[in-house]
Chain A
Amino acid sequence: MARLTAGLTTSHIPAVGAAMDLGKTGEDYWQPVFAGYDWTRQWETAQKPDVVVLVYNDHASAFDMKVIPTFAIGCADSFPIADEGWGPRPVPVVEGHADLAWHIAQSCILDEFDMTIINEMAVDHGLTVPLSLIFGQVAKWPVKVIPVAVNVVTYPPPTGNRCWLLGEAIARAVASYEEDLNVQIWGTGGMSHQLQGPRAGLINREWDTAFLDRLTADPEALRRMPHIEYLREAGSEGIELVMWLIMRGALGPKVRELHRHYHVPASNTAVGHIVLEPAP
């Protein structure tokens, strides 16, 4: 049977992808951003997951204002890299796992999560920057990826509790898949940042740190946190952090923290990254 073995979260800042693509990772500005991923790259080499369920948000790339799915799952065999206005990132095409993806979609719908099924979709920095951070610059991604795109742009986004429950449903779906696969779930986006208006540039290190702590110490509090708290404390784009709760819900009631990284700034944003595994 398929096994959900670990989860991680990471910011997915576009400038981080650009820094990698343009060979700037050794610069003083960028070096501390990337150093925090060294541990994870080593760890991931040993973990060798077969599939990553990658939770992210599309940034007006695959979805425009015509169709706004709250939860969408990519069920294709492959996903091309989006042109976000300056040409597609020079990274490999993302290979899907259509069979497991359809299994998760079907299972979640019967589990009362009415997923939108996507058969053709370009993926943007929200999905490719995390892959670059964890796997580096490679000719081919070493995992298959099931994209789960969440609307966190047009209000209201799903509640934290709903995200948590979707994570639980994804975990049940993975556990009922017959092939023996090592599956990870990644939550991406965040941490504190605001990309608009006179309040742009807001960063809240204290709140971000508490959020990272609570992923292991008090996830129930995160689950009940209303949107307004994310907006007030972590900035308007900090709302992306609700997506981390899909990852967290999937890992079960107790988790062990394996690694953490936090750095300010990358572009306008606080970089947050944590690696968790389910605990008995």
Chain B
Amino acid sequence: MTEPRDIHAYLAEFEDIPGTRVFTAKRARQGYHLNQFAMSLMKPENRARFKADEAAYLDEWPLTGAQKKAVLARDYNALLDEGGNIYFMAKIFSTDGKSFLQAVGTMTGMTPEDYQAMMIAGGRSPQGQRSKKEQR
């Protein structure tokens, strides 16, 4: 019923999508502790400790310097580059009292107002956003 798939070809195609990091095994491994740190913010007592001293809380986790820096800066593009997954990173922006709409918009280089306006106007067109190689 199902023909076998070539995992290498399957993964390689993901690199062809503009402005997107697919959460592959490689990223899941790179970001394991980063994502588990974010997960710890599900508990109110951890959120309180994190808010009281972010750097000290981060030092309790085996994170790289780049990962810690990206958390402190709330640089979500950098966090994804460091292996973060958006649903885990959501625990950080929820702790900040920010919505998905507010946090996601910061990754586009647009102002919050412009991003919101784009969504109300129907969202970002897929035109030219499907494939780097084929420019379609």
Give me the interface of A with B, judged by CB distance under 8 Å: 14-15, 18, 29, 59-61, 64-66, 83-86, 153-156, 159, 161-162, 165, 192, 194-205, 207, 227-228, 231-233, 236-237, 264-265, 267-268, 270
Interface string of B98-135 (1 = CB under 8 A from A): 01110011011100000100111011111001110000
* Minimum Cβ distance to chain B for residue A46 (Å): 35
Contact of B67 with A by CB under 8 A: no
* Minimum Cβ distance to chain B for residue A128 (Å): 16
Contact A232-B25, Cβ < 8 Å, known A15-B100, A202-B129: no
Contact A236-B36, Cβ < 8 Å, known A153-B85, A201-B124, A203-B122: no
Provide the bound-state CA to CA distance between A43 and B8, in Å.
Answer: 47
Asked if A201 and B115 sit within 8 Å, CB to CB, the answer is: yes
* Minimum Cβ distance to chain A for residue B71 (Å): 15
Q: Which of B31-54 contact A (CB under 8 A)?
A: 32, 35-36, 38-39, 41-42, 44, 47
Contact of B19 with A by CB under 8 A: yes
Asked if A196 and B126 sit within 8 Å, CB to CB, the answer is: no
Asked if B107 and A156 sit within 8 Å, CB to CB, the answer is: no
Of the residues A154, A161, A165, A194, contact of B28 by C-beta under 8 Å: A154
* Minimum Cβ distance to chain B for residue A215 (Å): 20
* Minimum Cβ distance to chain A for residue B34 (Å): 10
Contact of B87 with A by CB under 8 A: yes
Provide the bound-state CA to CA distance between A207 and B95, in Å.
Answer: 35
Residues of B with C-beta under 8 A to A270: 123
| Residue of A196, A201, A204, A268 most packed against chain B (CB within 10 A) | A196
25 A-B Cβ contacts within 8 A? A15-B101, A64-B35, A66-B36, A84-B90, A84-B94, A85-B42, A85-B91, A85-B94, A154-B28, A156-B10, A196-B80, A197-B21, A197-B80, A201-B108, A201-B119, A201-B123, A201-B124, A202-B125, A203-B124, A204-B126, A231-B17, A231-B22, A267-B119, A268-B101, A268-B104
Residues of A with C-beta under 8 A to B124: 194, 199-203
Give me the interface of B with A, judged by CB distance under 8 Å: 1-2, 10-11, 13-14, 17-25, 28, 32, 35-36, 38-39, 41-42, 44, 47, 76-77, 80, 85-88, 90-91, 94-95, 97, 99-101, 104-105, 107-109, 115, 118-120, 122-126, 129-131
- Given known contacts A195-B100, A267-B99, what 9 new A-B pairs fall within 8 Å (CB)? A60-B35, A60-B88, A65-B35, A65-B36, A199-B18, A202-B125, A203-B119, A236-B22, A264-B122
* Minimum Cβ distance to chain A for residue B106 (Å): 9
Asked if B130 and A233 sit within 8 Å, CB to CB, the answer is: yes
